[in-house]
Amino acid sequence: MLETKMLETVDHDGLRVVAVTGARVDAAICAEFKDALLRATQEAPGRVVLDLSAVRFLDSSGLGAVIAVMKALAPARRLELTGVSGAVEKVFLLTRMDRVFVIHPDLGEVVDGLRRAS
């Protein structure tokens, strides 16, 4: 498990889950967040799921960091999301990024899907 002050990372078969530990991803931390997320996904398997369950506020800078990481991973790996709710969900809906990202209702669904597939 890789841990930083803002991310926790756990690998499952063919999947890396990166959980954001802070409640805010905004302009104040977006550069550090993006760099940490890029490091956490550098050696990742084909699927990466970013768990935003703890995040209560995401501004346009935070969204830009998530998009930048998605682009950096493509085409070899894809970035999926889970734990998107409340104000964070509104950001994805208003910007129509909910159409760009695969968004899972919860992490349990993703992990259960892995178990069923194997």
Quick check: pTM over 0.85? yes
Give the helix/strand (H/E) hosting 9.
strand 7-12
Architecture per CATH, domain 2-117, reads as 2-Layer Sandwich (3.30)
CA distance 26 to 3: 20
Least confident range from 13-17, 71-75, 112-116: namely: 112-116
Q: Tens digit of pLDDT for each residue in 27-56? A: 999 999 999 999 999 999 989 999 999 999
